[in-house]
Structures are given as structure tokens and as C-alpha cells.
Amino acid sequence: MKPDINAGWTKTIRHDALAAKGRAVVRQDGKQIVLFHTPDGVYACNNRCPHEGYPLREGTLGDGCTLTCDWHNWKFDLTTGANYFGGDALRVYPVEVRDGDIWLDLSDPPREILRAAIMTNLRDAFDDHEYDRIAREIARLRLAGDDATDAVIAAIEWTFDRFEFGWTHAYAGTADWLALHDEHDGDPETQLICLLECVGHMADDSLREGHHPFTEDSRPYDEDGFVAALENEDEDLAVAHVRGALDGGLGFAGVERGLMRAALAHYADFGHSLIYVVKAGRLIERLGERVAGPLLMSLTRSLIYSSREDRIPEFRHYAQALAAWGRGKENGAALVPGDFAGLNAKNAMKLTARHGAAPSLELYETLLAANAGNMLRYDMTYQTYTEKPIRDNVGWLDFTHAITFANALRQACAKHPELWPQGLLQMACFSGRNAAYTDPGLDDDQWRVEDPERFFESAIESLFDHGRDEYIVSVHFLKTLLAAREEARTDPASEATGPLVASLNRLVNSTLKRKHTRRVAHQAMEFVALDG
């Protein structure tokens, strides 16, 4: 049987007609294809520049079959489609002249070849943090019939050993962006936004970063040994335990409690440690075991390097309060959020510890309401001060940590309730720290929300066009909104729900000053003067 020489081929225009014009656009199978007549033969490519869509029929054809898009001076090799500037490649098509007619092969390459090309191009865009190009490559991956979340998996594999101090908000935010991605099934544009924000944030955080390899050692996992290694800041030993757990088939579930114990052993890294542990579990559950090793090794590194605030004077009472947990001789009266008003961290922890015999969830709701109230009453003048000491550099994002930490704690203690004392004391640390930066005279009522579900729907919709040029800001809005929504849905009647939603309402309707030029200069001069 003779092969069908026309399979995939389409007849277009006459060769003599093209020769007379020099170039022509033909429309075939929904494509716009531009044909060029050159001394070296006929060439065909997509008419739209892959950069921003300028019609290449208007481009300049130079020597050596170089086609220049005159909008932004991108240059392509018409024989291969290669981009001389390292950006998106140009789709070119095989051409044959048969009996005076020009024929084009419009068939797509095999799927595996197409996917490989897309992933190569995505990596190029990723390494330069080309946001718009990342978007195009993820869109191409989806159009090719692949699971576009593979781009997120690849980005994790490209970055896990490039974060020198372990996890960043990029991974934590990815867990929440993927949750929104899955909520918007059937809305490909919104889903692309979610994936783009994941991959873009990882690209930005790893930009120009080198590689920081992990040990290849593996040892049988032992939870106490793992926690001790983290406490002793022995990364190689801790990672060896993680590798052993994965080699032994334990998965995330096998190391989860050890990670949570370590995260709550100290008031650490302003709550990030526990938040990251919970987000790691969600990411692995969503993306599969392929990301377990990279995520857990990077997470282990972040626990090693986490700052341990309970060792500084403001929070040094933590260990003593934990030792005294539940030993107070209280009269049984339940705590209310107002009991924490004006208390510093030490007194907030002492009060919480004295009531440690109370039901944990009741204490949790009281502390969540207290922290939400602090956030609601944040004194925004601290954003404008230029002559206060560095310890008073307090902004909105400091208050959001109390909410995202609380949400992570509730999830952690639902599995491991023995961790409630540590977590509740750390919620008290947040309350005591942030209380000093509140305005008790603020009118709370103006931010009250009558319909929380409608508020969250609107606020989350705004995330898909957030307009924030710093990932660190947009990801805090994302994490705090989703954490607060989850808390409000868990117990709508909780005394924490009202102030929690009101605090989010104020946050999304307020300004965030992110660059403090005069404050930085003033503090720098004071610091170096003292330094001598």
C-alpha cells in the first residue's frame, strides 16, 4: 500500500502568485500562516509573533532567512523557528511546491515531542522570570492536552535546592493557589492565573540563586531522632531521616507529627514553621509523591534555619508557661477575647497557661477572636512613622501571620491534639506582640460584614487581578483570605467569626506601605552611629 503523500498536507496558493507578491497570508484550519518567497526558497510560519502577536507579514526579512518582528525587534530563523533572543520559538511549517502549487504540512508533532519543547521553553522563561512567557507556555501545555499542573511540579523540582534557607512563601502560596484552581474547574482562564502565580512566585524567589545540595545519606526514620536533629540544627542528619522515611514508604504521613513537634517546639519564625508543615501536606496530597522528597527536604532546611523567637526577652516566658500549663487554680470562668486586651506576650501566655485545663477549642476560639480583634484595630500610623526603632517596624502582614498560624494550628491539632498547649501559647505570643500596635479607639462597626460568604467570594475574586507587583504581598492576601474563610466556615457561630471577617474587610480596603525610604535611612544612620 502506497503512503498517502497528502496526509497532513494542505494545498494553499500558486507559487507564481507568491513570487509576484513576495509574501502572503493564508488561512488554514483556523491558523494564520505567512508565506515568504526568498532566493533560498519558500518558507512558512505563524503570522503572529509569539511575543505579543504582531503580524509577521509586516516584519523585515533579512539575510540568512532572518525574520525580524519590527514591534520589539525579536528575530527568528525562518528555517528552524529559533529565536535569536532566547524567547518564544516561532512555529514554522514544512513547505513543498508541487505542480506550481504551494503545499504546507500543518500536522502537529508527536505529543511527547511537543511536550518536551514546551517544558524546555518553560524552563527558559522560568529561569529569567518572564511572567508573560511563563503564562504562554503553561497555556500551551494545557492546549496540548497535558495536565497544566505539571508546570507546578516541574517548578518545585527546579527550585527546591535553590532556596538557601528552605521554604519560602512561594511554596506555601502554591497550596492555596491550587485550592482555588480546583474550585474553578471549567474556567481555564482563572485556572491559568492560579498556576501562573504559583510558578511565577517560585521563579522570582529563585532568580539568580545558586544550588545548595542536600546530603544523599539515608537512615531509618526515627521520630525522636529526627526532632532532635532539627533542634540541634543538624541539617544532614535531619535530611537523612527524611530520606529514610521516604525510602521506607512512610510518606508525608509518617513524618508529619515529627515535623509538627519541631515546628511547635519554639515560637519559631513568626509562625511560619507550622504553616509550612501544613501546606506541605496539602501540596503532597494534591500533586503526588513525586514532590514529596523535594518539598520535605526544603521544609527540613527551613526548620533548621528558622528564627526561634522564644529565646529573645519578649517571648522568653514560653518554656515556663508550657511547664505550668493547666496548673492554675482558676474559678472555672471562661476566658473572653477582652481578657487579652493590652496584655504583653508574657502576661498573655501566663493567662492562657492558667486556663490550660479548659477545653482546647474554647481557648482556641477565644485566642483567635483576640488576634482577629488586634488585626481589626491595627494602628496604621505605624506605617508612616520614620523615627521609631526597628522593633516597631510593624505592618499589616505581621498581623496576618496570627490568622494563618491559627488556621494551621487547628488543622494540626485535629490530628495531634497533644500539641494544643504549645500552639495555644504561641497564639498568645501573637496576641501579646501585636496588642501594642493597635488603636483601641478604632470604630469596629464600620468594618462589620453581614454576609461573610459574599464577602469572601468578592475578596477572593479580586485575587485573580490583584495588581500587586510584590508576590510577598499578594500571597499574604491569598493565604489570609483562605485561612479566614476556612475558619469562618468551620464554625460560623464562633465568637471569632465576626471580628475575623471584619479584620479581613479592613485589610482588603486599606493601603499597605511597602517601601519606607526615610525610615530605612533614619534607622541606618542611628544603627551605624551606635556601632561606631
State the number of CA atoms in the 13 A half-sphere of 287 facing the CB.
32
Q: Provide the pLDDT confidence category of residue 114 given band limits of 50, 70 and 90.
A: very high
What percentage of residues in the chain have a pLDDT greater than 70?
A: 98
Per-residue model confidence as pLDDT tens digits over 143-189:
999 999 999 999 999 999 999 999 999 999 999 999 999 999 999 99
How crowded is residue 197: how many other Cβ atoms within 10 Å of its Cβ? 25
What's the CATH architecture for 9-105? 3-layer Sandwich (2.102)
How crowded is residue 531: how many other Cβ atoms within 10 Å of its Cβ? 6
SS (H, E, C) 225-266: HHHHHHHCCCHHHHHHHHHHHHHCCCHHHHHHHHHHHHHHCC
Residue 52 has a pLDDT of: 87
Residue 85 has a pLDDT of: 85
Residue 329 has a pLDDT of: 65
Q: Provide the pLDDT confidence category of residue 137 given band limits of 50, 70 and 90.
A: very high
Per-residue model confidence as pLDDT tens digits over 483-517:
999 999 999 999 999 999 999 999 999 999 999 99
CATH number of 223-307: 1.20.272
- DSSP character at residue 3: -
pLDDT over threshold 80, residue 479: yes
Per-residue model confidence as pLDDT tens digits over 260-304:
999 999 998 889 999 999 999 999 999 999 999 999 999 999 999
Domain ranges of the chain: 9-105, 111-206, 223-307, 311-468+477-518
Q: Helix, strand or coil for residue 108?
A: coil
In order, the DSSP letters of 408-446 are HHHHHHHH-GGGHHHHHHHHHHHHHHHHTTB-TTS-GGG
Contacting residues for 200 by C-beta, under 8 A, at least 6 apart: 129, 131, 134, 471
Mean pLDDT of the chain: 94
Q: Which residues pair with 93 in a beta bridge?
A: 44
- For residues 396-418, one letter each, b for 16 or more C-beta atoms within 10 angstroms of the residue's C-beta and e for the rest, the string is bbbbbbbbbbbbbbbbbbeeeee
pLDDT over threshold 60, residue 424: yes
Average pLDDT of the residues in 357-375: 96
Q: Is 530 exposed, middle or buried, given 0-12, 13-18 or 19+ CB atoms closer than 10 A?
A: exposed
Q: Which residues pair with 69 in a beta bridge?
A: 74
pLDDT over threshold 60, residue 75: yes
Task: Give the separation between CA 64 and CA 39, rounded to whole angstroms.
Answer: 10
Residue 3 has a pLDDT of: 40
How crowded is residue 112: how many other Cβ atoms within 10 Å of its Cβ? 8
